[in-house]
Amino acid sequence: MVRDLDISGRVSAVEFLDKGYSADRKFRLHSDTKPSYLLRVSDISEERIRRSNFDLLSRLSRKGIACPRAIHFGTNAALGVCFIVQTYLPGECAEEALPKLPAARQYDVGRQAGEELRRIHEALLPPGPVDDLAIRSGKYAQYQKVVGELAISFEGQERAAGYVDGHLHLLRNRPTTFRHGDYHPGNLLLQDGMLAGVVDFNRCDWGDPVDDFYKLALFGAPVSEQYARGQVIGYFGREPPKDFWPLYNLYVAVVLPGDIVWTEKHYPQFLSDSLKRVELVASTHDLHDGGPPAWWRSGS
């Protein structure tokens, strides 16, 4: 497949990347001259959404977003796959790099990440409004149904469910922006202790921009509370508005059963890790009054 690409003359080696939780297969294509490339291979059934991802990534890079540049989209019917070739961004994964940095630098990286997330949200005009209330409530009902069928429970489950039931109305008539869909330190790259790039836009979509913050609860604050606080301040340029925390808590509460369902379906061997994660989130978030979480209050 690589030999058939227009860039094949510049590829000297192919390296399989065994990283992340996506079903995609990823390969770094080494070249004698920079840049090197990332080949991301998906099942052919995902052709439509991957073609859309390619188009959106192309538009984002033209807007100056610190993301990979889309080079080529293609399909291979014989192999039953579609694929994207993009530039390979160098740097160290922030999930691994942040704990090595001083606390003040972790906060600075968070501010940079928040500023870049704001630019991502503002980079593209939406094709039309999105009904976040209908979409989220539908997904949440399905998550609850599956968790019940699996007979799985977690500490704080009733409190989270009560918060969702009492606050879903907050999603009515929310603004629509482009969203990364998986914004957390695992998808950020650092160089010299500074944000160098944002990767993995495979879950990008359109909707309420606050939805892009719930990964702070699951994968941001557990790595660095300083980073998490910095991301919020960097995004808003100040303390968040009053309506932010109730919405943030709602997206967090909605996704707790979803994390369990996704893990049980794709990586059942990590189900116990998912349960520990959602219980930690439930215990550190104000799923009663919708106020700031413990990781924010600890820095005030």
Last residue of a domain, one of 57, 87, 117: 87
Break the chain down into helix, strand, coil percent, rounded to 5.
Answer: 50, 15, 30
Range of the domain at 19: 2-87
Do 171 and 38 belong to one domain? no
Lowest mean pLDDT among 8-12, 173-177, 188-192, 244-248: 8-12
Verify that 110 and 248 share a domain, yes or no: yes
Mean pLDDT of the chain: 94
Write down which residue in 87, 109, 129 finishes a domain: 87
**Which tens digits make up the pLDDT trace of 282-297?**
999 999 999 999 999 9
Looking at the fold, whether 150 and 175 belong to one and the same domain comes out as yes
Given the structure tokens 């215990």, which residue do they identify?
283
Do 33 and 99 fall into the same domain? Answer: no
Q: State the CATH number of the domain containing residue 134.
A: 3.90.1200.10
pLDDT at 10: 79
Overall average pLDDT of the 203-224 stretch: 97
- Poorest-pLDDT segment among 16-30, 85-99, 121-135, 212-226: 16-30
Over residues 39-43, mean pLDDT: 95
Tell me the per-residue pLDDT of 184-195, one tens digit each, with 9 for 90 and over. Answer: 999 999 999 999
- Structurally, the chain folds into a number of domains equal to 2
- Same domain flag for 36 and 61: yes
Q: Are residues 139 and 218 in the same domain?
A: yes
Q: Is the pLDDT of residue 8 over 70?
A: no
* 42 phi, psi to nearest 5 deg: -125, 160
Of the residues 69, 87, 105, the one at which a domain ends: 87
* 8 A C-beta contact, residue 101 and residue 109: yes
Q: Pick the residue with more confidence: 31 or 186?
A: 186
Is residue 192 domain-shared with residue 135, that is, in the same domain? yes
Whether residue 232 sits in one domain with residue 209 = yes
Domain identity same for 41 and 166:
no
Both 113 and 251 in one domain: the answer is yes
Residues 22 and 117 in one domain: no
Q: Checking DSSP bridges between strand 37-43 and strand 81-87, what pairing results, if any?
A: antiparallel
Give the CATH number for residue 33: 3.30.200.20
Question: Is 252 found in the same domain as 128?
Answer: yes
Whether residue 33 has pLDDT greater than 70: no
Residues 6+ apart with CB under 8 A from 160: 253, 256, 257, 282, 287
Average pLDDT of the residues in 101-111 = 98
In this predicted structure, the answer to whether residue 21 has a pLDDT above a threshold of 80 is: no
Cα dihedral: 201, 203, 277, 147 (round 10): -170
Q: What is the DSSP string of 3-71?
A: GGSTTGGGEEEEEEE--SS-SSEEEEEEESSSPPEEEEEEEGGGHHHHHHHHHHHHHHHHTT-SSPPEE
